[in-house]
Amino acid sequence: MTYQSEGCLRVGQEAPDFTATAVVDQEFKTISLSDYRGQYVVLFFYPLDFTFVCPTEITAFSDRHAEFKALGTEVLGVSVDSEFSHLAWIQTERNMGGVGDLDYPLVSDIKKEVSAAYNVLDPEAGIALRGLFIIDKEGVLQHATINNLAFGRNVDETLRTLQALQHVQNNPDEVCPAGWTPGDQTMNPDPVKSKEYFAAI
């Protein structure tokens, strides 16, 4: 496994590339983040396989995977577990505490290099916090959130944020206000033209 990271990670910078072993369709594959250049990527970290909150997130993203694919986006899940642990978890049915077949890769970060590169590694616990990153088609980090260990993330909000990002990238003269969803009014980031939005609401 290799990774590249320079300086403090923040949105607007190129996302750290990495190469690692992942479980894809119950097979081991070597993948790199750069393999997905040209499409959007939702990269999320979770603490450990065979735990409690984690399977609810992992299956939620898998169940909604088609919605991400329709937006030209791949989902990648990452934890510090080995690829063998990932495979065993995938081969365990959901009603037995497993995650079953998944529609996206689970990446093994057993050396903890990817978690460190994305600043989500808890060095005392030796596991990743619940970091979630949206990376655009050019490989630029556009969104980052980090939850502590005990509470999960929201797939609806991830989709909404992704849609807002794609909208402003496709419409550079517009910005999206709080809670924007497709079909809602945007605003022009201009002191005069923005008044049209505020007058309408």
Determine, yes or no, domain membership for 42. yes
Determine, yes or no, domain membership for 192. no
Determine, yes or no, domain membership for 143. yes
Determine, yes or no, domain membership for 162. no
Determine, yes or no, domain membership for 178. no
Determine, yes or no, domain membership for 193. no
Side-chain half-sphere CA neighbours of 78 within 13 A? 33
Q: Write out pLDDT tens, residues 36-61.
A: 999 999 999 999 999 999 999 999 99
135: containing domain: 2-153
- Residue 194: the pLDDT is 84
Instruction: Give this prediction's pTM.
Output: 0.93
Q: Write out pLDDT tens, residues 72-120.
A: 999 999 999 999 999 999 999 999 989 999 999 999 999 999 999 999 9
Which residue in this structure is represented by tokens 């690829």? 83
Determine, yes or no, domain membership for 171. no
Determine, yes or no, domain membership for 82. yes
Q: Would you name the residues annotated as active-site residues?
A: 54
Q: What is the C-alpha to C-alpha distance for residues 192 and 81, in angstroms, rounded to an integer? A: 53
CATH number, domain of 15, equals 3.40.30.10
Choose among 163, 94, 167, 162: nearest CA to 132: 162
Domain count, the chain: 1
Q: Where are the beta strands (DSSP E) in the chain?
A: 2-3, 18-24, 27-32, 40-45, 73-79, 106-108, 121-122, 127-128, 130-135, 141-147
- pLDDT band per the 50, 70, 90 thresholds, residue 1: very low
Mean pLDDT of the chain: 94
